[in-house]
Amino acid sequence: MAEPTPALPDRLIAHLDMDAFYASVELLRYPELKGLPVVVGGRRAHTPRELPDGTRQFFKLADYTGRGVVTTSTYAARDLGVFSAMGLMKAALRAPQAILLPADFDSYRHYSRLFKAAVREIAPVIEDRGIDEIYIDLTDVPGARDAVGHDPLGGVRAVAREIKNSVQSATGLTCSIGVTPNKLLSKIASELDKPDGLTVITMADLPTRIWPLPVRRINGIGPKAGAKLDGLDIHTIGELAAAPQELLLQHFGPGYSVWLHQAAWGLDDRPVVTHSEPVSISRETTFERDLHAKRDRPELSRIFTALCEQLASDLQRKGYLGRTIGIKLRFEGFRTVTRDLTLEEPVQDAASIRHAAGLCLKRVDLSQRLRLLGVRVGKLSRPGEVEPPRRGRAAATAEDASPARPKPENLPLFN
Choose between 162 and 196: whose C-beta lies nearer to Mg ion: 196
Q: Which of 87, 96, 172, 195 binds ligand TTP (CB under 6 A)?
A: 195
Q: Which of 8, 12, 13, 18 binds Mg ion (CB under 5 A)?
A: 18
Report how far residue 135's alpha carbon sits from residue 125's, in angstroms, rounded to the nearest whole number: 8
- Would you mind telling me the total number of residues written for the chain in this entry? 415
| Pairing outcome for strands 280-291 and 370-381 | antiparallel
User: Shortest gap between Cβ of 184 and Mg ion (angstroms)?
Assistant: 16
Among the listed residues 3, 121, 127, 133, the single catalytic one is 133
Q: Does 21 bind Mg ion (CB under 5 A)?
A: yes
195 prior amide bond cis, ω within 30: yes
Contacts of Mg ion in 117-176 (CB under 5 A): 132-133
Q: Which of 85, 106, 223, 275 binds ligand TTP (CB under 6 A)?
A: 85
Choose between 272 and 375: whose C-beta lies nearer to Mg ion: 272
Choose between 12 and 70: whose C-beta lies nearer to ligand TTP: 70
Q: Which of 84, 107, 168, 415 binds ligand TTP (CB under 6 A)?
A: 84
- Alpha helices per DSSP H over 265-366: 297-318, 350-361
CB atoms < 10 A from the CB of 29, how many? 12
CB-based contact 104:65 (threshold 8 Å): no
User: Shortest gap between Cβ of 23 and ligand TTP (angstroms)?
Assistant: 6
Considering CB distances under 5 to 8 angstroms, the limit depending on partner class, which of Mg ion, ligand TTP, none binds residue 194? ligand TTP
Considering CB distances under 5 to 8 angstroms, the limit depending on partner class, which of Mg ion, ligand TTP, none binds residue 71? ligand TTP
Q: Count the site residues for Mg ion by CB under 5 A.
A: 5
CB-based contact 379:323 (threshold 8 Å): yes
The closest of 340, 346, 411, 332 to 375, measured between CA atoms, is 340
Q: Which stretch binds Mg ion (CB under 5 A): 3-11, 12-20, 350-358, 389-397?
A: 12-20
User: Shortest gap between Cβ of 278 and ligand TTP (angstroms)?
Assistant: 24
CB atoms < 10 A from the CB of 363, how many? 12
User: Shortest gap between Cβ of 285 and Mg ion (angstroms)?
Assistant: 42
Q: Locate the DSSP E strands across 124-238.
A: 126-128, 133-137, 175-180, 198-200
Q: Does 106 bind ligand TTP (CB under 6 A)?
A: no
Q: Does 26 bind ligand TTP (CB under 6 A)?
A: no
Q: Which amino acid is at 241?
A: A
Report how far residue 158's alpha carbon sits from residue 179's, in angstroms, rounded to the nearest whole number: 11
Contacts of ligand TTP in 115-174 (CB under 6 A): 131-132
User: Shortest gap between Cβ of 17 and Mg ion (angstroms)?
Assistant: 4
User: Shortest gap between Cβ of 85 and ligand TTP (angstroms)?
Assistant: 5
CB-based contact 326:339 (threshold 8 Å): yes
Q: Quick one: residue 389, left, alpha or beta (phi over 0 = left, psi -120 to 50 = alpha)?
A: alpha
Q: Does 26 bind Mg ion (CB under 5 A)?
A: no
CA 173 vs. chain centroid, Å, equals 22
Q: Does 111 bind Mg ion (CB under 5 A)?
A: no
Q: Does 107 bind ligand TTP (CB under 6 A)?
A: no
Maximum distance among all alpha carbons in the chain? 87
Buried b (16+ CB within 10 A) or exposed e, 269-295: eeebeeeeeeeebbbeeebeebbebee
Q: Is 133 a catalytic residue?
A: yes
Give the binding site for Mg ion (CB under 5 A): 17-18, 21, 132-133
Give the binding site for ligand TTP (CB under 6 A): 17-22, 71-72, 84-85, 131-132, 194-195
Residues known to be catalytic: 133
